[in-house]
Amino acid sequence: MNDDVAALDGETGAPQEWFFCLDHHRVERDYQCPVTSLLGPFPSAEVAGHALQRAEHNNAVYKSDQD
């Protein structure tokens, strides 16, 4: 599956959204935890699973741009 395109829910046809929960350190589908605890949405569980690495990378890039 292309990571840039969200999968569609088989029942509703709506895009599936995946999140990384900072409280439980796990990938979750849709809104299982409070939005203040979530990173995302991401188009797939695989992409959501790399949310912390992506955030670290983005923070490093931002910091280097500020120097």
Q: What is the mean pLDDT of residues 19-31?
A: 95
pTM equals 0.73
Q: How far is CA 37 from CA 5, 21, 23, 61, 62, in A?
A: 24, 6, 6, 23, 22
pLDDT band, residue 3 (cuts 50/70/90): very low
Q: What is the mean pLDDT of residues 17-41?
A: 95
38-42: strand order across its sheet: 26-29, 18-21, 38-42
pLDDT band, residue 8 (cuts 50/70/90): low
Position 47 scores a pLDDT of: 96
